[in-house]
Amino acid sequence: MTMLSATQNRAFLPINADLINNPAYQHLSNDALMLYSLYQQRQQVSAYHADNDNPTFVDEQGVFVYFSNEEAAKILRISVRKVSSLRSALIKCGLIHVVRNGLKNFKIYVNQPQETPADVELILPWANFSFEKPQVTNTQVDANVPADFAPTEKQILPINQSNSKQSKLNITSETNESGLKDSVVIDEQPKPKDPVSLEKTAVDSLMNRLSNMISTQVAGRVRILTNNSYKEAKALFDMIFKAKSQVTNRLFTSPTWMYDDAATKATRFETNNVMTKGLESALLRISEALFKQNNVIKNKERFMYVYLRNFMASAVQNFLNDNYELSEDDQIDLKLLMNFSA
């Protein structure tokens, strides 16, 4: 038995290639794709029963499945809260439709993904490739299938194609043979930069390092608040992350949230869009308060820190409430944890 035939005899959980190729689904995580595939596979079982005169899983809306979040969490080895979040993402994409049935059960209707537009460059161009041997000699090769996956009678490739190509451009330090014999390299001394330009470059570097966590709008507000001063901009960012760290530490003191994936997402700029988008508004309000009450606020740094900390706590609480199905006890516990005035 060949390796391929042995593989084909195993059971798999297939993932529709349109979920990967179609830009409409590019924001879905791997866990979301796996969850959808579980729903789709279960739907096929329901359809099988319907075809064999068992209408248990069919109603006026079509074929449906019963698949609890607890069951999916056990299969995918993730928390129930995360399954709830993934299911919400699938609903927003139109991949599933969920209807409550009784107090605890939900009917899940699984829809087919949208076909990938013809003008989109495929990420998985070989998804429809067949490993069956061609029946005719003159086969036509699909233009979307890479050459190394196209079925041909005989195909010879170098052992290491990248090394083969690289050998043509091989340059050694001993010979210094680059093929550009006529090139002339001029060693120019850089002109000294003025202090203002140097500080602006330093601020730009600071913003660039934090670009994966803060938005362009937030960077602009920080520049205005600190008058493009590197020292003040860094101090403000340190204050922002210190406030976020205090909120994170408070949340993780609770056994309910200590090892929870939802809590981790809620306390990170990269995953909590409420925190990312709301930070600009928080900085605007701080600027307004400092302008209007400049003579009233005695300790400006303390005022800014408390405001930022309370904003972070509110953003964490809103993110968890909006994206997860929290029990009443979880909501009470979260509200107490995020109340720093108590």
pLDDT, tens digit only, all 342 positions of the chain: 444 444 455 577 888 888 988 998 989 999 999 999 999 999 988 888 888 888 888 988 889 999 988 899 999 999 988 898 999 999 998 999 998 876 567 899 999 999 888 888 888 776 655 555 555 555 555 555 555 555 554 444 444 444 444 443 443 334 344 444 444 444 555 555 556 678 888 888 888 888 888 888 888 888 888 888 899 999 999 999 999 999 999 998 888 887 788 888 899 988 888 888 889 889 988 888 888 887 788 888 899 899 999 999 999 999 998 888 888 888 888 999 999 875
Q: How many CA atoms lie within 13 A of 331 on its CB side?
A: 9
Nearest to 260 by CA among 341, 337, 312: 337
Last residue of a domain, one of 52, 85, 110: 110
Q: Is there a single domain that holds both residue 94 and residue 211?
A: no
**SS3 readout for 20-78:** HHCHHHCCCCHHHHHHHHHHHHHHHHHHHHHHCCCHHHEECCEECECCCHHHHHHHHCC
Q: Is the dihedral of CA 161, 163, 167, 169 positive or negative?
A: positive
Residue 333 lies in a domain: yes
Give residue 142's pLDDT.
Answer: 54
Residue 122 lies in a domain: no
CA distance 70 to 322: 20
Contact indicator for 290, 297 with CB cutoff of 8 Å: yes
Residue 137 lies in a domain: no
Give residue 316's pLDDT.
Answer: 93
Residue 17 lies in a domain: yes
Helix residue spans in the chain (DSSP H)? 3-8, 18-21, 30-51, 69-76, 80-92, 161-168, 195-209, 216-226, 230-251, 261-266, 273-292, 300-323, 328-337
Look up the domain containing 26 and give its range: 10-110
Residue 156 lies in a domain: no
Q: CA 76, 80, 83, 88: dihedral to nearest 10 degrees?
A: 170
Last residue of a domain, one of 56, 87, 110: 110
Give residue 72's pLDDT.
Answer: 92
Residue 150 lies in a domain: no
Give residue 91's pLDDT.
Answer: 92
Last residue of a domain, one of 76, 110, 144: 110
The count of domains in the chain is 2
Q: Is there a single domain that holds both residue 73 and residue 204?
A: no
Q: Is there a single domain that holds both residue 207 and residue 328?
A: yes
Q: Please report, for the domain that includes residue 77, its CATH number.
A: 1.10.10
Give residue 129's pLDDT.
Answer: 58
Q: What is the pTM assigned to this prediction? A: 0.45
CA distance 62 to 46: 10
Give residue 185's pLDDT.
Answer: 46
Q: Is there a single domain that holds both residue 106 and residue 200?
A: no
